[in-house]
Amino acid sequence: MNNTIVGFPRVGKLRELKFISEKYFRGEVTKEELQQVAKALRAEHWKFQKSAGINLIPSNDFSFYDGVLDTAVLFNVIPKKYQELNLDEIDTYFAMARGYQGEAGDVSALAMKKWFNTNYHYLVPEISDDTEVKLVGEKPFEEYVEAKQFGIQTKAVLIGPFTFLKLAKYQGEKKAAEFAQDFVKGYVEILKKFESLGTEWVQFDEPALVQDLTVEDLNLFNTLYKNILKEKRNTKILLQTYFGDLRDYYQEITALDFDGFGLDFLEGKETLHLIEKYGFPEGKVLFAGLVNGKNIWKSSYEKVLGTLEELKKYTKEIVLSTSCSLLHVPYTLQNENSLKPEVEQYFAFALEKLQELRELSVLTDTDDYRIEKEYQENKELFAKERLGQNPDVKAKVDDLKEEDFIRLPKRSERQKIQKDDLELPIFPTTTIGSFPQTIEVKKNRTAYRKGEIDKAAYDSKVNEFIKACIEKQEEIGIDVLVHGEYERNDMVEFFGENLEGYVFTEKAWVQSYGTRCVKPPIIFGDVKRTKAITTSYLEYAQSLTDKPVKGMLTGPVTILNWSFPREDISLKEMAYQIGIAIREEVLDLEKAGIKIIQIDEAALKEKLPIRQSDWYTEYLDWAIPAFRLCHSGVKPETQIHTHMCYSEFNAIIKDIDNMDADVISFEASRSKLTILDAIQESGFETEVGPGVYDIHSPRVPSVEEIMGALETMLKKIDKDKLWVNPDCGLKTRGILETEASLINLVEAAKILRKQY
Ligand code: GLN
Ligand code: ZN
């Protein structure tokens, strides 16, 4: 059986592309040097795939920053403000990606958005009425030819016109459909060009097809592709979907004259049923996405081969593929030196997945794969008892009862009790948790990591930072203090490291956007808290002041969403395991005299399913309870806060209120104020702290500006429910601007109090 992948990661095995790009941005290397590294990386990636035995290797899956941005530039979708800089091609591209400030002018970057349900972010193309859509770039052809020079006949990959038009932002009157013909022309031209180069397959990525679509959307899709497919000659077109299934549109879409359909059998839970129910079009090739492109576990050969056997009943020609691009997994286990073999045996990163594809392909061609060694070994791994199981944890989850998810008394009563007990002024001031991570803070951590100082020395330094932080906050006059989070550099890693069941990697980086990569920890086994994690720091902080110090934890959904999850148990079960661990920490904090505890859910929305019909059944029905589980056991006097880094939660506002926190803070500066209407209209009960200034910039907001923001908020929010705080943690900020901003924030609250 032939095999392929949807796409390969681009940043390089050791993030070479990141480092050379950043050097280029700083003016330390030339364009030529940048291009050379990129070219070498592409060559390396093709060679990896070739030597691993991949038959149909993709090209144009490389990108300097982002594939959607590449597509925009390819079709001349370059807003005027960038064109007017008069930079060359690559610098215009980077100006769109990162903004530009220099001799040529001053423009901000395009907006960035989450790529469907992943942690990858794309740049949002901007189309205005006078945008002249036409094919102007050469990148796909150049890279195709480049691969051919290595003797590799690649499958050229492009983001399809439908997904592109769905993701773009329209600045003027004209909407997507009005640009359809221009895109048809452009894509037809691309096909012709590939035709002349002798390309066998072109892959159009259309993940937008797995969303809920309207009739208009489907019309747009049909218009685009009926016209493009009309012009098809020898080069075959693969319609590639991923992150879900085609559901209601399966029949309609597969009736179109594509030569191949790439379907996701993992996140596309309905894909197999759809084929069983409606069959698969004759004479077409099925690109079966069976190896997970999003997670780091080995595939079960039994499962994959079983599905392939079933599929063979419906179609003759199958190409084994990944469920989506391997962009979402780290490069290779070869980079890992500290993973124990008994742990590592379960993992497959990108390179190891290539290996799996080859082995699986070979197995399908044998008379009886069940007797082959590769199959047997893989089967044994899945059959034997899995490492990291903990019956106690399982029992705790099984024993959870309805009341464990319900906090009593109800919130309106608690709010009264807390008002009396905490004696806070109206418009209480607070911060989101972290204070600037200065060089000394980082030095302390590094010294401890390297073993230069012991835990006691490390902690005593952390306590010094805490003391200074408390003193500063008292001096500024903040009402609810924080300890500053000096003991952690990352809100998930810190808890992962202190919980049993987690595994960490050294170099398992995954691109999050542009040159930024993240290294998510792996949930390997059952998650358990074995010791108190934050109490000693909080207890110390509280001992220094009479004002309440807010305990600071990360919530279970965020911990889960920013980790690689297990595949042998459900997300719900993992969320509950982590929820129980955080609950234990919450109760310990309470016992230690902490009266206010914030449980951050910065990534709550991250894994909200793409289709609205799946929101509850697949996600919110356990995600919200997992949060409630953390705090349902506290006394009525204990005030529970949560925080989210965004305010686009209008659509799930009821669910946010159902988390049953007493207070929520979120980002609301700039133009994000529509949330205020939603809060008012939904009868939102949780007290709210919409961020009064943007911490992502070093700018110090004036007192008047903050008052202005608060006055706007007071038009929609009850005065007894409004908190005053920045919009996120302060850890990336400098000390000076932080102090100046907080002084103004406190001043604004004081002036406002006099008026109410
Ligand atoms: N408490 C965390 C902080 O202040 C929250 C970070 C976040 O929301 N991303 O840094
Ligand atoms: Zn935040």
Question: Which ligand approaches the C-alpha of residue 645 most closely?
Answer: 2
- In a 3-state reduction of DSSP, which class is residue 271? helix
Catalytic residue among 483, 641, 643, 696: 696
For residue 665, how far is its CA from the centre of ligand 2 (angstroms)? 9
pLDDT tens readout for residues 317-332: 999 999 999 999 999 9
pLDDT tens, position by position, 538-562: 999 999 999 999 999 999 999 999 9
As a whole number of angstroms, the distance between CA 511 and CA 13 comes to: 12
CA atoms of 684 and 314, how far apart (whole Å): 51
**Does residue 431 surpass a pLDDT of 80?**
yes
Question: Above 70 in pLDDT, residue 434?
Answer: yes
- Ligand 1 pocket mutation pick from 430, 431, 432, 494 by most atoms within 8 angstroms of CB: 432
Q: Evaluate whether 383 touches 634 at the Cβ level (below 8 Å).
A: no
Mean pLDDT for 421-431 is: 97
**What's the rounded Cα separation, in Å, for the pair 422 and 430?**
14
Query: Ligand 1 pocket by C-beta < 6 Å: which residues?
Result: 432-434, 485, 491, 552, 600, 602, 643, 645, 728-729, 731
From the CA of 645, how far away is ligand 2's center (Å)? 3
Cα–Cα distance, 272 to 500 (Å, whole number): 36
Of ligand 1's listed atoms, the one at least distance from the Cα of 432 is: 4
Contact in structure between 376 and 365 (CB atoms under 8 Å): no
> Could you tell me the pLDDT band of residue 371, with boundaries at 50, 70 and 90?
very high
Nearest atom (ligand 1) to Cα of 431: 4
Mean pLDDT, range 347-363, rounded to an integer: 98
Q: For 592, phi and psi rounded to 5 degrees? A: -80, 5
The two tokens of residue 119 are 């942690």
Q: Which ligand is nearest to the CA of 728?
A: 2
pTM here is 0.95
Ligand number nearest CA of 732 is 1
pLDDT at 744: 98
Ligand nearest, relative to CA of residue 492: 1
The confidence band for 669, taking pLDDT boundaries of 50, 70 and 90, is low
| pLDDT tens per residue across span 453-508 | 999 999 999 999 999 999 999 999 999 999 999 999 899 999 999 999 999 999 99
| 51 Cα distance to chain centroid | 31
> Exposed/middle/buried for 673, CB within 10 Å: 0-12, 13-18, 19+?
middle
**Closest Cα to atom 4 of ligand 1:** 729
696 is catalytic: yes
Reported confidence tier of residue 118, pLDDT bands at 50, 70, 90: very high
CA 731–ligand 1 middle distance (angstroms): 8
Write down the pLDDT at residue 121.
Answer: 94
Which residue, judged by its Cα, is nearest atom 5 of ligand 1? 729
Phi, psi of 653 (to 5 degrees): -60, -35
pLDDT at 696 exceeding the cut of 90: no
Q: Which of 119, 434, 486 to mutate to test the pocket of ligand 1 (most atoms within 8 A of CB)?
A: 434
**Looking at the predicted structure, is the pLDDT value of residue 670 above 80?**
no
What pLDDT sits at residue 235? 98
| Residue 728 alpha carbon to ligand 1 centre in Å | 6
Length of the chain: 756
Residue whose entry in the numeric block shows the structure tokens 């943690």: 729
Q: Whose CA is nearest to atom 6 of ligand 1?
A: 729
Give pLDDT, residue 648.
86
Nearest CA to ligand 1 atom 3: 729
- Poorest-confidence range of 103-112, 502-511, 594-603? 103-112
The H-assigned helical ranges of 553-670 are 556-561, 571-591, 615, 621-631, 653-657
The rounded Å distance from CA 27 to ligand 1 centre is 32
Tokens of 752: 């406002």
CA–CA separation, 447 vs 441, rounded Å? 10
Residue with CA closest to ligand 1 atom 1: 433
Q: Which atom of ligand 1 is nearest to the CA of 433?
A: 4
Compute the average pLDDT of residues 342-359.
Answer: 98
Contact 201, 59 (CB under 8 A): no
In angstroms, rounded to a whole number, what is the distance separating the alpha carbons of residues 184 and 463?
A: 63
Question: Which CA distances in Å does 417 have to 172, 251, 550, 552?
Answer: 52, 58, 17, 22
Judge if the upstream peptide bond of residue 409 is cis by omega within 30 degrees of 0.
yes
Question: How many C-beta atoms lie closer than 10 Å to residue 384's C-beta?
Answer: 8
Residues measured by CB to lie within 5 Å of ligand 2, the ion: 602, 645, 728
CB 503 within 8 A of CB 343: yes
Tracing tokens 């056997």 back to the chain, one arrives at 309
- Rounded to whole angstroms, how far apart are CA atoms 45 and 62? 9
Joined together, the tokens standing for residue 292 give: 């997970």
250 with 210: CB under 8 angstroms? no
Q: Pick from 483, 491, 645 the residue to mutate for probing ligand 1's pocket: most ligand atoms within 8 Å of its CB.
A: 491
Q: Ligand 1, residue 728: give the atom nearest the CA.
A: 8
CA separation for the pair 573, 575 (Å, rounded): 5
Q: Is the pLDDT of residue 185 over 90?
A: yes
CA of 434 to the centre of ligand 1 (A): 6
- Whether residue 112 has pLDDT greater than 70: yes
Q: Is it the case that residue 672 has pLDDT exceeding 80? A: no
Q: Output the residue whose Cα is nearest ligand 1's atom 9.
A: 602
Q: What's the token pair of residue 44? A: 């390396």
* Residue 335 in tokens: 């980079």
CA of 461 to the centre of ligand 1 (A): 21
Distance 598 CA to ligand 1 centre (A): 10
Stretch 655-659: mean pLDDT: 98
Q: What is the 3-state secondary structure (H, E, C) of 507-530?
A: CCCEEEECCEEECCCEEEEEEEEC
Ligand closest to the CA atom of residue 597: 1
Q: Which ligand is nearest to the CA of 552?
A: 1
Tell me what the pLDDT averaged over the chain comes to: 96
Q: Which residues contact 131 (CB under 8 A, 6 or more apart)?
A: 76, 77, 79, 179
CA of 729 to the centre of ligand 2 (A): 6
450 Cα–ligand 2 center, Å: 29
Q: Residue 299 — left, alpha, or beta (φ > 0 → left; ψ -120 to 50 → alpha)?
A: beta
- Best mutation site among 489, 600, 647, 738 for ligand 1 pocket (most ligand atoms within 8 Å of CB): 600
Model confidence pLDDT, tens digit, residues 11-60: 999 999 999 999 999 999 999 999 999 999 999 999 999 999 999 999 99
- Give percent helix, percent strand, percent coil of the chain, each to the nearest 5: 45, 15, 40
What SS3 class is residue 437? coil
